């Protein structure tokens, strides 16, 4: 193991403080972290990268923040990559559990809010969602709807997107 560690230490500056890292060591770390992240993300479920819900978006932010520490040398290189893997595995486990448990799914991911039903706008639901009339009108226009009365149902989905079923 010692024979493998020495070349890695030299190439990646594993035993150096962040201020002691050479620019090429940081570059090499960035390349290695990038390649490892590709492997990790391919092993994870595909949906979390789309930031489908706050649950997924938080994972992307935390992974980026944590992986950056491996590049800059602000935390142990391999330990940091292990932490990223644990975060992805935890996300996978929680999302797997939520498939069979709607109550846990709602707790973790939230739920959709009906904003329009049979052409009638629910102002209380909009207020609870912190959505203005201008926001709703903009989202409807992006869905090709110019009048809420033409909508059978519109929901503010857990992802923050508006889904629209026209009459």
**Residue 79 or 55, more confident:** 79
Two tokens at 12?
């990646």
Predicted confidence (pLDDT) at residue 50 exceeds the cutoff of 70: no
Half-sphere exposure of 21 (CA within 13 A, CB side): 24
Predicted confidence (pLDDT) at residue 102 exceeds the cutoff of 60: yes
Predicted TM-score (pTM) of the model is: 0.75
Q: Please check whether residue 95 is in contact with residue 45, taking contact to mean a CB–CB distance below 8 angstroms.
A: yes
**pLDDT tens by residue, 138-162:** 999 999 999 999 999 999 998 889 9
Spatial separation of the C-alpha atoms in residues 157 and 88, rounded to whole Å: 24
Quick one: pLDDT at residue 60?
87
**pLDDT tens by residue, 80-100:** 999 999 999 998 898 889 889
The mean per-residue pLDDT over the stretch 56-62 comes to 87
- Parallel, antiparallel or unpaired: strands 151-156 and 120-121: unpaired
**pLDDT tens by residue, 69-80:** 999 999 999 999
Predicted confidence (pLDDT) at residue 130 exceeds the cutoff of 90: yes
Which CATH number is 112-166 given? 3.30.240.20
DSSP code at position 20: G
Using alpha carbons, select from 109, 111, 93 the residue that is nearest to residue 57. 109
Averaged confidence pLDDT in the chain: 90
The mean per-residue pLDDT over the stretch 114-128 comes to 96
For the stretch 125-129, contacts whose Cβ atoms lie closer than 8 Å and that sit 24 or more positions apart, written own/partner, are 125/156, 129/156
Using alpha carbons, select from 129, 134, 133 the residue that is nearest to residue 114. 129
Which pLDDT band holds residue 51 (cuts at 50, 70, 90)? low
Q: Please check whether residue 152 is in contact with residue 167, taking contact to mean a CB–CB distance below 8 angstroms.
A: yes
Spatial separation of the C-alpha atoms in residues 67 and 166, rounded to whole Å: 44
Residues 6+ apart with CB under 8 A from 33: 67, 70, 71, 81
For the chain, residues classed under CATH 3.30.240.20 are: 112-166
């Amino acid at each position: 193991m010692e024979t493998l560690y020495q070349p890695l230490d030299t190439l990646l500056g594993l035993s150096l403080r962040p201020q002691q890292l050479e620019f090429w060591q940081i570059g090499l770390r960035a390349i290695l972290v990038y390649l490892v992240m590709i492997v990790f993300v391919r092993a994870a479920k595909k949906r979390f990268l789309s930031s489908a819900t706050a649950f997924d978006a938080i994972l992307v932010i935390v992974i980026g923040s944590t992986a950056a520490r491996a590049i800059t040398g602000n935390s142990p290189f391999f330990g940091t990559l292990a932490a990223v893997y644990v975060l992805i595995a935890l996300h996978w486990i929680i999302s797997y559990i939520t498939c069979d448990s709607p109550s846990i799914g709602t707790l973790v991911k939230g739920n959709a809010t009906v904003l329009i039903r049979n052409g009638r706008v629910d102002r209380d639901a909009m207020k609870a969602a912190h959505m203005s009339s201008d926001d709703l009108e903009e989202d409807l226009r992006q869905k090709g709807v110019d009048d809420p009365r033409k909508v059978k149902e519109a929901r503010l989905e857990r992802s923050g997107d508006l889904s629209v079923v026209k009459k």
